[in-house]
Amino acid sequence: MDQILQLLWLVPVLPLIASVILVSRPGWSRRRAHSVAIGALGFSGIISLLAFMKTLGADPATTAREVVTVTWFQMGVAPLQIGWVLDPLTAVMLTMVTFVGTLIFIFSTGYMASDERYRLFFAYLSLFAAAMLGMIISNSLLLLFICWELVGVASYLLIGFWAHKPSAAAAAKKAFITTRIGDIGFFIGMLWLASSSGSLLFFDNGSGCLEENALGLLGSQVTILGLALSTAISLLILWGAMGKSGQFPLHVWLPDAMEGPTPVSALIHAATMVAAGVFLMARLYPLMAAGATGTDDAFPVTGALIATTFVGSITALLGALIAVAQTDIKRILAYSTVSQLGYMMMGLGTGGPAVAMFHLITHAFFKALLFLGAGSVIHGCHDVQDIRRMGGLKGAMPVTFATYAIGMLALAGFPLLFAGFWSKDAILHSTHTWSVSHLPYWIGLIGAFLTAFYMTRQMFYVFFGGNRLNESEAESHPVPPPHESPAVMTWPLIILAAGAVLLGFIGTPAFPWFQGYIDRAPSTLSLSALFESGTLSVMILSSLVGLGGIGLAYLFYRPIAFRPNQQVDPLQRRLPRFFDLATHRFWIDELYDKTIVAAVGALALVSDLIDRKIVHRIVECVRRAVQGIAWVTRFTDEHLVNGAFDRSCDGFRWGARQGARLQSGQTQRYLKIVGSSLVGLVLVLIWISRS
C-alpha cells in the first residue's frame, strides 16, 4: 500500500489536468466535458479511498502519519521543499471532498444543463476541486497557501459565473476581497512561523514547524504584548481562517456568495471551501495548543484557542439570529452555514480537531444535501428563490421533500437518528467541560434552539400548504407549476441523505471511533458511556432544545401552510423590532459600507491624485529621459559614428575599391571595430596591470 502514499499527488493533479483540458477544448460536447471532469474527480476519489483505507490499517504510533518531501528548487544553502502528508486528517478530508464533490458534479450536469458556458463551468469546478485537494494533502505551509489562494480564485470565478448579473459580479468581488483581508493575516503568520521555526514543512522527521522541537521553541518565546510567539502566530492564522470560513466579523461575503449557481453554493460555500478555515486550524492545532498552561486538563487551553472559541460562539449565535428572518431559501442556508462554521470553531477551541472535524464532515453531507435540495427546489420552481412565494411543494417534489426533510432534521439536531445531532452534541459536550467559561455552552444551546426554529420555518414555507408561485400581483406572466427534478439531480440527494443519517454513528459517545481515529488513539464500544451523568445531561438538554425549536416554529408557522395569503411573517408580528434587525443582518454590511469601504474609497481617491499628479510626472520624466538616450544613441550611431567612420574609412575604401563595390562597406566597418577593440582592450589591461 506504500504506492498510495507516493501516488497521493495524483489526487489534486487529476482534476487540474481535467480543468486545463476543458479550458483548452472549447469545442467539446457537453457529454464529453462533464465525463472528463467527473471521471477525473472520481478517480481522485478512488485514490483517496485507498489512502483512507491505508490510514485505517496504520499503526497509530508509527505509520499513522507519513510524508513525502520533494525539493522544489535550491536557493542558496536552504532548499525550498514542498511535499504532501498522509494522516487521518488528510485522508478523511480527501474522502469527504472527493465523494461530496463527485455527487455535486453529477447534480450539476442536470442543474446547468441549459447553460451556455457549460464546459467552462466544469473547468472551473475542476480547478476548484484541484486547489482544494491540493490544500488538503499539502505538507508545506507555502504549498498550502498557494492552494488556499487558488481556492479563492476558483471561488471568485464560480460566484461570478453569471457575471451578466451585476449582483453576481459584485458578490464575487466582495467574496474575493473579504477573504483576502483574512489572507493578509495568514500570510504574515506564515512568514513569521517560517522565519522563527526555520521550516515551512509541517512534519519533517522532527524538524518540521509543527513538531515538538519547533513548538517548544515557539511556545516558550514571548513577543509583543506578552503573547507567546506561538499564540501570536496562531492569532494571525486564525484571522486568515476566519476570512475563509466566514467567521464574524468577516462573514459578510458568504451570504452574498449565494449569487453563484446553486451547485457551487453546495460545493464551495457549504461543504468544502468554507470548511478550509476549520481544516487549517485543525492542521495547525499543535501550534494553537503549543505552550498550553496546565497539562492536567483534558484539552489544552491557550490564548489562541480561547480566541477561536469565542469567535466561533459569536458567529454561531449571530448567524442563527440572522437566519431566522431571511426569506431567500439560499440565504437562510448561507447564514446557517455561517452559524455551523461557528460551531466548528467552538468545537476546535474546546475539544480539539477531532470534534471540529466530526461536525465538519457531517455538516458537509447534510449541508450539501440541503443546498442541492434547494437547488432542486429552485430548479423546480423556475428560478424563484423567495420562500414566501413557494409552498406546497411536498406533493409536487416528493423526493426532494423527503431528502430535504432529512437534511433539515440533521441540521436541527433531531435526537438520536441524525448525524447532526451527534456531531453537535460532541461540540456541546466539549464546551460543557471547558474549563475557561460556560458561556460558549449556553450560546451553543441557544444557537441549537434557533437552528431548529429557522429550519422548521423554512420547511413550512417551502413544502407545506398551497402553492403561492402565482400569487404575486407583480408577476405579469404566470409561472408554470413546479415539477420534480430529473433523476440525475435526485440521486445525489438520496445518497447524501443516507450519509446525513448514517455518518453520525461513527462518533457517538458510546463508540467515539471517529475521535479516536483522528486523534490516533484506539476507541472501544461502551454503551454505558452514553449514560454517564455529564454526557447524558448534555444530550437530553440539547434534544429538548432542538425539539423545542421545532415545536415553537410549528406553532408559529403551521398556520402559514393553511392560510396562503399570509403577508406578514408571524415572528415579525410578535417581535417587529428584532425581526427588522435580523432582516437587515444587524446592519453589519451597511456599517462596513459607511466606515471601511468609505475610508478605502477616500484613500483610493487620494492615491489616484498622487498617482496622477506626482508619480505620473516622474514616470513621464523617466520615459523622456530613456527616449532621449535612445534618440541620442541613434543620432550618434547614424550621424557621428557612421559619419566619422565613413570619413575615416575613406582611405581604406580607396585602397579596396574593388571589395567596396562588391560589399556594402559595412563589413569593413565591422572588422575595423573589432580590430580597434582588440587594441583598446589590450591597452586597458596593460594600463591596469601597470598602475
Partner 1 sequence: MTPVDYSRLLLLLAPEMILVITALAVLAADLIWARDLKDRNRHTIAFSITLFGSLAAVASLMMGTPDPAGATQWLTLGGATTTVKIGLIALTLSALAISTRSPLTSHIGELYLLTLLATVGMLFMASANHLLLAFIALELVSLSFYILVALYRHHKPAAEGALRYFLLGGVSAGFTLFGLSFIYGATGSMAFDQISQQLDGSPPSPLLIVGMVALVIGFGFKIAAVPMHLWAPDAYQAAAPPVGALIASASKLASFYLFARIWTVVLADVAGRGADSSLSAGWLILLAILAAASLILGNVAAIAQTSLKRLLAYSAIAHAGYILIGLMGEQADGIAAVIYYLVTYGLAIVGAFALVLLVEGSDGSDQITAFAGFHRRYPLESFCLLIFILSLAGIPPLAGFFGKFYLFAAALKSGLASNLLFALVVLAVAMSAVSLYYYLKVLKQAYVVPSPNTARRRSDPVLRVVVILMAIGVVALGCFPDILVGDLVADLK
Q: Binding residues for partner 1, per CB under 8 A?
A: 24, 71-76, 79, 626, 629-630, 633-634, 663-664, 666-667, 669-671, 673-674, 677-678, 681-682, 684-686, 688-689
**Least spacing, CB of residue 163 vs partner 1, in Å:** 21
Q: Which is nearer to partner 1, 207 or 677 (CB)?
A: 677
DSSP SS3 for 560: helix
Q: Which is nearer to partner 1, 56 or 622 (CB)?
A: 622
Contacts of 321 (CB under 8 A, 6+ apart): 450, 582, 586
Distance from C-alpha of 676 to C-alpha of 376, rounded to nearest angstrom: 83
**C-beta separation of 266 from 375 below 8 A:** yes
**Least spacing, CB of residue 689 vs partner 1, in Å:** 3
Which amino acid, residue 8? L
DSSP SS3 for 83: strand
**Least spacing, CB of residue 684 vs partner 1, in Å:** 7
**Least spacing, CB of residue 82 vs partner 1, in Å:** 10
**C-beta separation of 100 from 108 below 8 A:** no
Q: Which is nearer to partner 1, 435 or 677 (CB)?
A: 677
Q: Which is nearer to partner 1, 487 or 671 (CB)?
A: 671
How many DSSP H helices and E strands does the chain contain? Answer: 31, 2
**Least spacing, CB of residue 685 vs partner 1, in Å:** 5
Distance from C-alpha of 450 to C-alpha of 444, rounded to nearest angstrom: 10
Contacts of 78 (CB under 8 A, 6+ apart): none
Beta bridge partners of 83: 69
DSSP SS3 for 68: strand
Question: Could you give the residue ranges of the DSSP H alpha helices within 284-302?
Answer: 285-288
**C-beta separation of 489 from 107 below 8 A:** yes
- How does DSSP classify residue 473? T
Q: Which is nearer to partner 1, 527 or 682 (CB)?
A: 682
Q: Which is nearer to partner 1, 474 or 674 (CB)?
A: 674
Q: Which is nearer to partner 1, 61 or 77 (CB)?
A: 77
Distance from C-alpha of 92 to C-alpha of 107, rounded to nearest angstrom: 22
User: In terms of C-beta density within 10 A (0-12 exposed, 13-18 middle, 19 or more buried), how is residue 522 classed?
Assistant: exposed
Distance from C-alpha of 233 to C-alpha of 288, rounded to nearest angstrom: 9
Q: What angle do CA 481, 403, 168 make, to 5 degrees?
A: 65
Q: Which is nearer to partner 1, 61 or 75 (CB)?
A: 75
**Least spacing, CB of residue 26 vs partner 1, in Å:** 10
Q: Which is nearer to partner 1, 614 or 671 (CB)?
A: 671
**Least spacing, CB of residue 81 vs partner 1, in Å:** 10
**Least spacing, CB of residue 663 vs partner 1, in Å:** 7
**Least spacing, CB of residue 24 vs partner 1, in Å:** 7
- Other C-beta atoms within 10 Å of 26: how many? 11
Q: Which is nearer to partner 1, 74 or 537 (CB)?
A: 74
- What dihedral do alpha carbons 517, 99, 247, 367 form, nearest 10°? -110
Q: Which is nearer to partner 1, 24 or 295 (CB)?
A: 24
- Other C-beta atoms within 10 Å of 385: how many? 17
**Least spacing, CB of residue 44 vs partner 1, in Å:** 21
Angle between helices 141-159 and 273-283 (to 10 degrees): 170
Q: Which is nearer to partner 1, 602 or 684 (CB)?
A: 684
Closest Cα partner for 98 from 6, 5, 15?
Answer: 15
Q: Which is nearer to partner 1, 527 or 630 (CB)?
A: 630
Closest Cα partner for 430 from 343, 362, 521?
Answer: 343
Altogether, the residues listed in the chain come to a count of: 691
DSSP SS3 for 253: helix
Q: Which is nearer to partner 1, 554 or 645 (CB)?
A: 645
**Least spacing, CB of residue 497 vs partner 1, in Å:** 43
The cell 438520536 sits on which residue?
Answer: 416
**Least spacing, CB of residue 413 vs partner 1, in Å:** 47
Q: Which is nearer to partner 1, 654 or 687 (CB)?
A: 687
DSSP SS3 for 29: coil
Helix (H) or strand (E) holding 506: none
Which amino acid, residue 279? F
**Least spacing, CB of residue 643 vs partner 1, in Å:** 17
Distance from C-alpha of 161 to C-alpha of 176, rounded to nearest angstrom: 14
**Least spacing, CB of residue 629 vs partner 1, in Å:** 7
**Least spacing, CB of residue 78 vs partner 1, in Å:** 13
**C-beta separation of 265 from 371 below 8 A:** yes
Q: Which is nearer to partner 1, 382 or 634 (CB)?
A: 634
Helix (H) or strand (E) holding 283: helix 273-283
Q: What angle do CA 100, 101, 102 make, to 5 degrees?
A: 95
Which amino acid, residue 337? T
**Least spacing, CB of residue 486 vs partner 1, in Å:** 35
- How does DSSP classify residue 464? S
Q: Which is nearer to partner 1, 220 or 677 (CB)?
A: 677
**Least spacing, CB of residue 147 vs partner 1, in Å:** 15
Distance from C-alpha of 508 to C-alpha of 514, rounded to nearest angstrom: 9
Closest Cα partner for 283 from 76, 133, 90, 463?
Answer: 90
DSSP SS3 for 63: coil
What's phi and psi for 610, nearest 5 deg?
-60, -45
